[in-house]
Amino acid sequence: MPDMTFEEVAGLARAAGLVLSQEDLVEVTHRLNTVIADVEGFSHPDLDNIAPVPFRPLEETDDGQ
C-alpha cells in the first residue's frame, strides 16, 4: 500500500470527525504511514490460516498447542 498523502489523511480525519492543525496533520500522516508500512511488512506463512482470536477461555490451561 503506497504512503497516504496529507490530503488523504486530512480527508480521513474529517470523515472521522477529527480536527487537525497543519502541524498535527504532518505528524499524524507520517506516523500513520509508519504504522501501516510496518504491519504491511509483517509476513509469516501461517498468517492467512490463523484465526485472529486475542485470547481463549480463561479457564483453559494453555499448553501452547
* Nearest-10 Cα torsion for 52, 58, 60, 63: 60
Does 22 bind other proteins (CB under 8 A)? Our answer is no
13 alpha carbon, distance to own chain's centre: 15
Q: How far is the CB of 43 from other proteins (least distance, A)?
A: 9
Query: How far, in Å, CA of 4 to CA of 36, rounded?
Result: 10
Does 6 bind other proteins (CB under 8 A)? Our answer is no
Contact positions vs other proteins (CB under 8 A): 1, 3, 9, 12-13, 16-20, 23-24, 26-28, 30-42, 44, 46-48, 50-55, 58-59, 61-64
